[in-house]
Amino acid sequence: MWMAGDFLQLPKGNMTLEEVGYAYFDDLTSRSFFQPIPNNEYRGLEYKHRGELFVMHALIHELATHVAGDFYFRLEKDGNKIDKKTRHLSCNYQNHACSDLELFKKIKSLRTFLGLKFCYISRFVGNVSHILPSNMKCLRMLSLQGLRALRVVPESIGEFIHLRYLDLPNTSIESLPGSMCKMYNLQTLLCFCQYLEVLPNDMQDLVNLRHLDLSSSNRIVSLPNSLCKLYNLQTLKLKDCRRLQMLPSDTQDLVNLRHLDVRNTSLKEMPRGLGKLKNLQFLSELLLEKSKGSGLENGRNAKFKELDCN
């Protein structure tokens, strides 16, 4: 989200943009902006960072809210009025029905929309397409996590050409529309949905996609080969895609891939040529067919930091 919002300065030296973000977070923690809390004190309000849980002190949160002014707004009660200056909006469904169509017509200049507590909306409430109106074309970040009532992503989402971060986990969608491939600025797509079966065929058009997470998408059997033309892709998470039987044959073309997680899938073997993935740092499993091998013997310069071979 910080990358999508242009909150991170360009890295210096060999640092990645993610490492810059980690440095920011560590600096804020050292200044008590964020505070670590024990795992057994889970309250549902914390942030997770590198496996640890963090929370903001109430006074720090109050100060941050004051400094943010009208540009940042959390919709928590029916009757709240959003200022025309608001660019970053979160909606707590537990306290606000988030069902006012007129509300979504007024927020044309939003850059961020985060749905909170959407898990409280029954997946049988009917059409919730008003949460994805086509007039929100300036959005850079959109999170509908836990919106189980969302069964169809409208074709109009392809008009969100400025979108960089799309968060759709734990929804009821079965497929992603082909128009999504028009979102050429998209950097992060989180779509681990248990009902998801099909990805668009023109994935290669998402030229700036860096992170793709399809974990727990139990109905996916295969991935389109066009995915292998995402040359900027760095992270591919397929954990718990239990019906996934094969990776695309051209997986070795993902030259910038750094993280590949295929735990708990139905893969029998890995595609050949993985040795070409010189930037690979994490490989969850290495599945080999004795007669073929994986080609990793040709990748001696690969920067493996963690390798769990079963």
Please tell me whether residues 285 and 150 are part of one structural domain.
yes
Please tell me whether residues 148 and 48 are part of one structural domain.
no
240: CATH = 3.80.10.10
Q: What is the arithmetic mean of pLDDT over 172-191? A: 93
Structural domain containing residue 286: 70-307
The number of CA neighbours under 13 Å toward the Cβ of 134 is: 7
Please tell me whether residues 164 and 301 are part of one structural domain.
yes
pLDDT at 45 over 70: no
Is residue 115 in some structural domain? Answer: yes
DSSP string, 234-270: -EEE-TT-TT-----TTGGG-TT--EEE-TTS---SP
- Residue 233, both tokens: 């892709």
Task: Name the average pLDDT for the chain.
Answer: 81
Sign of CA dihedral 285, 289, 293, 295: negative
Please tell me whether residues 39 and 176 are part of one structural domain.
no
Round the CA-based radius of gyration of the chain to a whole number and report it: 21
Give the whole-angstrom CA distance, residue 304 versus residue 33. Answer: 34
Please tell me whether residues 164 and 36 are part of one structural domain.
no
Is residue 289 in some structural domain? Answer: yes
Is residue 65 in some structural domain? Answer: no
SS3 61: helix
| Residue bearing tokens 């989402």 | 157
- pLDDT tens digits, one per residue of 262-305: 999 998 888 888 888 998 988 886 655 544 555 555 544 444 44
- pLDDT tens digits, one per residue of 135-155: 778 899 999 888 887 888 888
Q: Are 241 and 218 in contact (CB under 8 A)?
A: yes
Most confident listed range (73-77, 146-150, 156-160, 217-221) = 217-221
The number of CA neighbours under 13 Å toward the Cβ of 2 is: 13
Please tell me whether residues 36 and 125 are part of one structural domain.
no
The pLDDT assigned to 164 comes to 95
Is residue 293 in some structural domain? Answer: yes
- pLDDT tens digits, one per residue of 64-103: 888 988 888 887 765 567 777 888 888 776 655 555 556 6
Number of domains, the chain: 2
The pLDDT assigned to 101 comes to 57
The residues that bridge with 236 in the sheet, in sequence order, are: 212, 260
pLDDT at 47 over 50: yes
Please tell me whether residues 164 and 273 are part of one structural domain.
yes
Q: Are 278 and 301 in contact (CB under 8 A)?
A: yes
> Which one has a higher pLDDT value, 146 or 227?
227
**Percent of the chain residues topping a pLDDT of 70:** 76
Q: Are 136 and 112 in contact (CB under 8 A)?
A: no
Q: Are 148 and 121 in contact (CB under 8 A)?
A: yes
pLDDT at 236 over 90: yes
The number of CA neighbours under 13 Å toward the Cβ of 257 is: 22
The pLDDT assigned to 129 comes to 61
Give the whole-angstrom CA distance, residue 284 versus residue 304. Answer: 11
The residues that bridge with 282 in the sheet, in sequence order, are: 259, 306
Please tell me whether residues 223 and 82 are part of one structural domain.
yes
DSSP string, 202-218: TGGG-TT--EEE-TT-T
Is residue 262 in some structural domain? Answer: yes
Q: What is the arithmetic mean of pLDDT over 26-42? A: 82
Is residue 106 in some structural domain? Answer: yes
Nearest CA to 112 out of 93, 131, 96, 88 is that of: 88
Predicted confidence band of residue 39 (pLDDT cuts 50, 70, 90): low
The residues that bridge with 307 in the sheet, in sequence order, are: 283
Q: What is the arithmetic mean of pLDDT over 11-17? A: 82
Please tell me whether residues 298 and 177 are part of one structural domain.
yes
Predicted confidence band of residue 202 (pLDDT cuts 50, 70, 90): very high
Please tell me whether residues 106 and 214 are part of one structural domain.
yes
Is residue 15 in some structural domain? Answer: no
Where do the DSSP E strands lie in 76-207? 88-92, 112-116, 141-143, 165-167, 188-190
Please tell me whether residues 49 and 194 are part of one structural domain.
no
> Which one has a higher pLDDT value, 113 or 50?
113
Is residue 7 in some structural domain? Answer: no
Q: Where are the alpha helices (DSSP H) in 117-253?
A: none
Whole-Å CA distances, 167 to 12, 187, 188: 29, 11, 8
DSSP-derived secondary structure letter, 16: -
Please tell me whether residues 298 and 229 are part of one structural domain.
yes
